[in-house]
Chains A and B, each alone.
Chain A
Amino acid sequence: MSDVSLSQVTAAPPLPALRLWRRVRPVLLSLIVPLLLLFGWHWAVAAGMTRLIPSPAEVAEYMVDFAVGGIWDDAFSATLHIHLLASASRVYGGFILAALVAVPLGILIGRVPLVRQLMDPFLQLMRPIPVTAWLPLSMILFGLGTQSAFFLVFLGAFYPILLNTILGVKNVEPRLFEAAAMLGCRGNAQFFKVVLPASLPSIFTGLRLGLGLAWFVIVVGEMTGVPQGLGAVIMDGRTLSRTELVICGMIVIGIAGFLSDRAVVMLMNRLLRWSPMHRG
């Protein structure tokens, strides 16, 4: 009984310099394309190819003003945190609400044939309707403002969570039900001991996609006439022809969405460390 699987064999620790290089290399590689694009942007503006787009340096300067103020001191100076907080609360509020509805509903659709027959055709019919198409109706139903934004973010995050939950619940390996049954875990007890853990990777994939889409639709959600939020900033920037403001809003949404995705991935890797697909 001394066989050791290959995955357990650890090689001798590499040299510190080599280890550092292994950590730094992926970061350097991932920076190449953005830096090239940034340079291309700078060069295009400097060469006078467009007068409507500010240079990266101007955007950077405005970003500092947007964040801490002290340069232009206009209506948007030092307001980044207010808009970011407003958007984040809508993104996470809408997302959490979507998760609270979509996960249990997905489990029911996946497990109970009656619920599936009742809900699945309806949901499949509603799914192709884009969030943008819901905008006018949402404004009528929920009025101008936060509730409407909330609803649109909810819609954006809802379907990926629902579909992946259904997928996960339906695709539990039948062998595992047999294993549980012969070990004395039968009937409803299997739900918490088998169905839920087995479908967790898929549910998490849905949550990750859902949160990504929640950030994705925040601009549409904030077209509904809310005074604050990154989407509102972008809409204001458009009406005021302040392109640097628009670009700043885009960058902040990108970074915030990226960081929130990283957080979910870290949580996933921790909770799903049993799964060979979720390591790193």
Chain B
Amino acid sequence: MAEIPILDIQGVGKTYILNDSRIEALRDANLTVRKGEFICLIGASGCGKSTLLRIVAGFEKPSAGQALMWGKPIDGPAPDRGMVFQDYGLFPWLTVRENIGFGPASRGRPKAEVRDTVERFIALIGLARFADAYPHQLSGGMKQRVAIARVLANDAEVVLMDEPFGALDAMTRERLQDELLELWQRTGLTVLFVTHSIEEAIFLSDRVVVMEPGPGRIASAHQVELPRPRDVASPEFNEVRRELGARLHSHHAKKAA
């Protein structure tokens, strides 16, 4: 008997109706994700990568096909699939501590348990000094750490990340990539990560899924065999980057032709 995958996306399509015209954002996407996998979705704007992520999150319903988690159709957002937004999506009226505790508290966990969980994750992301600060007092990198901790504190099995480091400066981005990998290796999370950057995709993921626009669809998937920790300056890394870059551009060239 085959193992049930944590995520199984079967022929998923999404069509929006906007001012009487139909916009096909995603067509016939198929993807199987094993527990613990780190997958990056990459492609140009309009390739449907965010739409796919939002369907897995449960924010959108597919117009065709189905998305399964542990073999059951996804029906709306739920704590087992946590989303990390590019613009953080933190509650501005809650402190760091309260933002992280929002999920467990909403789900009716006992107060003492919520407190313990929150303290553990504040320590994990290294923001003990800012535990009582409000989001507007934090830097972008700190906000994104809180957003990640908020999802993990709520026992998410799948973390969905929509260009989470896109708004950060290069140094902060590199540090957060390292931290994310460390967390992922320690916890056995499954990560679906949308990015624009080939380098980021290769650095982070087990598998890179290349998507292309018009209509948005999955073009190809590539296993990244490089051993971890990966060195972005190594010749092997560059080899993979060149190869993947060529694939991405050939997809685009085909489309332009």
A interface, CB within 8 angstroms of B: 1-8, 175-176, 178-186, 189, 193-194, 197-198, 200, 272-276
Contacts and interface: CB of A to CB of B under 8 A. Distances in A.
A275 B142 CA distance: 18
Given A176-B91, A200-B93, A273-B134, A186 B175 contact: no
B70 interface: no
Contact of A182 (B82, B125, B137, B142): B82
A102 B170 CA distance: 48
Interface stretch (B18-26, B39-47, B102-110): B102-110
Contacts of B85: 175, 178-179
A185 B106 CA distance: 6
B114 interface: no
B142 A5 contact: yes
Contact of B154 (A3, A8, A183): A183
Q: Shortest 4 CB-CB distances between A and B: which pairs? A: A1-B126, A5-B139, A183-B103, A185-B106
B175 A178 contact: no
A78 B203 CA distance: 81
Contact of B83 (A4, A178, A186): A178
B181 to A, nearest CB: 14
B92 interface: yes
A193 B102 CA distance: 9
A178 B125 contact: no
Contacts of A6: 139
A193 B106 contact: yes
Interface in B141-199: 141-142, 145, 150-151, 154, 172, 175, 179
B79 interface: yes
Which of B91, B139, B175 counts the most chain A CB atoms within 10 A?
A: B91
A183 B93 contact: no
Counting chain B residues whose Cβ lies within 8 A of the other chain, the interface size class is: 35 or more
Contacts, number: 96
A185 B102 CA distance: 9
B136 A274 contact: yes
Given A8-B137, A184-B103, A184-B106, A198 B93 contact: yes
A179 B93 contact: no
Contacts of B81: 182
Given A176-B91, A182-B83, A275-B93, A7 B106 contact: no
Contacts of B59: 178, 181-182
Contacts of B145: 1
Contacts of B150: 183
Contacts of B69: none
13 contacts: A1-B127, A8-B133, A175-B89, A181-B76, A182-B57, A183-B102, A184-B78, A184-B106, A185-B102, A197-B93, A274-B94, A274-B135, A275-B136
A274 B106 CA distance: 21
Contacts of A198: 93
A175 B87 contact: yes
B246 interface: no
B58 interface: yes
A5 B138 contact: yes
B11 interface: no
Interface in B30-77: 57-59, 76-77
Contact of A7 (B57, B78, B82, B137): B137
Contact of B142 (A3, A180, A181): A3
Given A3-B141, A5-B138, A175-B85, 9 more contacts: A5-B139, A7-B137, A175-B89, A178-B77, A178-B89, A183-B103, A184-B103, A200-B93, A274-B93
A197 B102 CA distance: 14
Contacts of A182: 57-59, 77-79, 81-83, 151
A203 B151 CA distance: 30
Contact of B89 (A1, A3, A8, A179): A179
Contacts of A194: 91
A7 B89 CA distance: 20
A79 to B, nearest CB: 46
Which of B81, B102, B154 counts the most chain A CB atoms within 10 A?
A: B102
B126 A179 contact: no
B108 to A, nearest CB: 9
Contacts of B93: 197-198, 200, 272, 274-275
Which of B77, B125, B136, B139 counts the most chain A CB atoms within 10 A?
A: B77
A3 B139 CA distance: 8
Contacts of A3: 139, 141-142, 172, 175
A61 to B, nearest CB: 51
A176 B89 contact: yes
Contacts of A5: 137-139, 142
